[in-house]
Amino acid sequence: MKRANLKLTIPAAAILLSLWPAVANAQSFSEDFDVDHSASWVVNRSTGANANDAGSSAEFFFDYSTAGIPSAPHSVGTTTRGLRMQANKTGGIVSGLSVSPIGQTFSGDYTLRFDMWLNYNGPLGPSPVGGSGSTQMTSAGIGTAGTTPQWAGGTQDSVWFGATGDGGTTADYRAYSPAAATGTGYTAPSGVFAAGTGTSPDARNAGHTYYAGFGGASAPEAQLTLFPGQTGTTAPGAPGMAWRDVIISKQGNLVSYSIDGLPIANVDISAITLGGGNIFLGHFDPFAGSSTDPNAVNVLFGLVDNVNVTPIPEPATYAAVFGLLAGAFALIRRRTS
């Protein structure tokens, strides 16, 4: 029996040794914000005419249960720490921010995945949509140098995507890159959006039937108890007030964005020069007016938890694995026959 076991370990060892270079070079990253890692992240805020440092913030160890929000789906146990981002709390300035992990560079094919909660001040809707100044966007992207703010009003060095919580703009789902203009980014006719190329209704608008699976969410009971103005339900197509599973995937020259498994947008980066290899998470206000709701500072924000960057093995790697396994099994059969 011992000799048979020894024979079985020989091909297994060969497989592991053959795959070692690919495994060693695969870079991954994770952050659950359960420990205060603020020093490991850089915060880049909008500048110039859009500078609003006092009105924006990024809290990397925020206990979101204080806003009545339950633990995120991918959290271990029932922890409720995450990254809370806010913009234009005061000042009445179109502004935003982005945050990137310091010293990280990702190459090849990989996915950026995280839990996202888009909270906004009520009444939630569906009509009218949200309270005073409730429309803001939470975003994420890849390929940035991590040294400049990535938001709708800035200079883009990445490919990135964003969504409103309340569905309060004509372009609630957005995509950006250095090849797209500032403002609302890629237009519907560009073909970037999975909802189509139509503009009436706009393929980026939450009211489009493509996004009908979102909407109808209520504020958590704990939040409604803390803030009685959080009544109503989210408008059809609006992804706010619920945990969402967000995936940005880079495979070859295609970068795709999905929410809860629904494809939102795809950007071909074959002719685009990106600024670097880092990721970012962001939040911005596309409108100038700050909310006049006194509770907005407590309930108007974007929340991110359980960030993971995972390499995607190339097809050649899969082929090599299957080939090695086939050879290993053949060797086992010969030695045991």
66 CB contacts (<8 Å, ≥6 apart)? none
Q: Give a yes or no: residue 20 inside a domain.
A: no
Burial class (CB in 10 A: 0-12, 13-18, 19+), 317: middle
Q: In which residue are the tokens 């789902």 written?
A: 173
Q: Give a yes or no: residue 33 inside a domain.
A: yes
For residue 70, the domain's CATH number is 2.60.120.560
Q: Give a yes or no: residue 327 inside a domain.
A: no
Mean pLDDT by 10 residues, the chain (337 residues): 43 47 65 98 97 97 98 97 98 97 97 98 96 98 98 96 98 97 91 97 97 98 98 98 98 98 98 98 97 97 98 64 47 49
* Token code pair at residue 231: 């009544």
- pLDDT for residue 319: 47
Q: Give a yes or no: residue 159 inside a domain.
A: yes
Q: Give a yes or no: residue 251 inside a domain.
A: yes
Helix (H, G, I), strand (E, B) or coil at 173: strand
Domain range enclosing 174? 27-133+144-319
| Cα 37–chain centre separation | 19
Residue 20's Cβ-side half-sphere holds a number of Cα atoms within 13 Å equal to 6
Do the beta carbons of residue 45 and residue 149 sit within 8 Å? yes
CA angle 29, 76, 36 (to 5 degrees): 60
Q: How many of the other CB atoms lie within 10 Å of CB of 43?
A: 16
- pLDDT for residue 5: 44
Number of domains, the chain = 1
- pLDDT for residue 329: 42
- pLDDT tens-place string over residues 25-84: 458 999 999 999 999 999 999 999 999 999 999 999 999 999 999 999 999 999 999 999
Q: Give a yes or no: residue 15 inside a domain.
A: no
